Amino acid sequence: MTTTPIVIRKTAELQARAEAVRCAGRRIALVPTMGALHEAHLSLVDEARRHADEVWVSIFVNPTQFNDPADFDKYPQTFDADLALCAGRGVDVIFAPTVDQLYPDGAQTWVDVSELALPLCGASRPGHFKGVTTVVTKLFLAARPHVAVFGQKDFQQLAVIRRMTRDLGFGIEIVGAPTLREADGLAMSSRNVHLGPVAREEALALSRALAAADTAYAAGERSQAVLLDRVHAELCEARQGKIDYAELRDPETLEQAGPVLEGDVLLALAVFFRPDGDGQGSEVRLIDNIVLRDRSTHRNEEQA
């Protein structure tokens, strides 16, 4: 299914197209991205296709969500390759605005989700989610989709966007798509290309830590302290890694879990790794997560 997507650069043009498509009775699914597309993004495109008649991908490296300017500067920009990948997946429209389209001169309006954006990545990347919710609001207003698809790898981002969408009354269905992994377990991320060979190997500690916790939780371990010990034991194998956070929280409210765990529990990890080779450049921060399922509860639910 190879088509050539239509590339639109102006917000007003996208809005006019959205109105025409909606009024023709066709459903639009939006996949917001920052480009540097890889297989995980394409799985979001495939998921989007299941919910709509047209799949629109936005490609915009949003300056306001980078709390670290160096991180913004080195974010990979690969538009031609992105376009080819989208064509191969049958994407209908690519929205690739310039910065001034989404941030006109003197822009000073911000969309902010308060509580959900505070912990985890919100704590270690001040202002990050404010940038995300602001740009996603603008993308939603530009594309007017029926559905928008986000990856579960950015678990907190998904939770924050769900809340924002409901609170503001966008009338858009938010779909979370499962994390795609490399064969060895590393969660796919545009940032993985910055890992040197040692860091690439050590980065497997994240998925190993998630698996260890999952196994223990499934076996009935309910002590937060014991579970976090297992997690830290795995993460410590990454000798050049530096833990940003490793936390157990409520998957809905993102509040901290109690000492004795119950029900479904989010395990969220963020680890810094040294950059490639000569040690130049900033560290590479990887995140990963799993929702530990209380299988007894779920079994009961299925029986009910």
Tell me the catalytic residues.
Answer: 41
The nearest distance, CB 25 to a second copy, in angstroms, is 9
Applying CB under 8 A, among 39, 112, 255, 262 the residue interacting with a second copy is: 112
Applying CB under 8 A, among 7, 70, 99, 107 the residue interacting with a second copy is: 107
In b/e form, how buried is each residue of 105-140, taking b as 16+ CB within 10 angstroms?
eeeeeebebeebbebbbbeebeebbbbbbbbbbbbb
Three-state secondary structure readout of 283-303? CEEEEEEEEECCHHHHHHHHH
Element (H, E) at 90: none
- Matching residue, tokens 């936390």: 247
* Rounded Cα gap, residues 111 and 107, in angstroms: 12
Phi, psi of 284 (to 5 degrees): -100, 120
Residues 15-44 that bind a second copy (CB under 8 A): 15, 19, 22-23
The nearest distance, CB 208 to a second copy, in angstroms, is 35
The nearest distance, CB 7 to a second copy, in angstroms, is 18
One-letter amino acid at 44 equals L
Residues 125-164 that bind a second copy (CB under 8 A): 133, 137-138, 141-142, 163-164
Q: Does 265 bind a second copy (CB under 8 A)?
A: no
Binding mask 162-201 for a second copy (x = CB under 8 A): -xx-xxxxxx------------------------------
Binding site for a second copy (CB under 8 A): 11-12, 15, 19, 22-23, 101-104, 106-116, 133, 137-138, 141-142, 163-164, 166-171
